[in-house]
Amino acid sequence: PCYKWEAAATSGEERDPKRLDTVNEVLADVLSKYPNVTVVPYRERVCTGSDLSTPDLTLRPDGAHLSEDASADLWHDLAPKIVEAIG
């Protein structure tokens, strides 16, 4: 998803929209072959803006990693879904 981690010395490839779209397309294609796989819409959860390209800094203060509270919220949301999925 969106990413902005100033502590990482990169040329910005990790937030290049074309690269992100390509990775997401490849993942979707591969995962579509596994009917029991569910993809969590993580980008919608942690990114803001009309194009979801800006990290929500209230959830990921450094632009990359979830805060402790955001991690706990995500886990509490995902845990029951995981338990249900594995039956």
Position 3 in a domain: no
Position 29 in a domain: yes
Cβ contact 11:66 at 8 Å: no
DSSP-derived letter for residue 65 is S
Output the pLDDT for position 74: 94
User: Look-up: residue for tokens 């990359």?
Assistant: 64
> Alpha-carbon distance 7 to 3, whole Å?
12
CB atoms within 10 A of CB 32: 10
Residue 19 domain boundaries: 13-86
Output the pLDDT for position 34: 94
The pTM of the full predicted model, rounded to 2 decimals, is 0.71
In the chain (87 residues long), the average pLDDT of successive 10-residue segments reads 71 79 92 90 90 90 92 95 86
Output the pLDDT for position 5: 67
Number of domains in the chain: 1
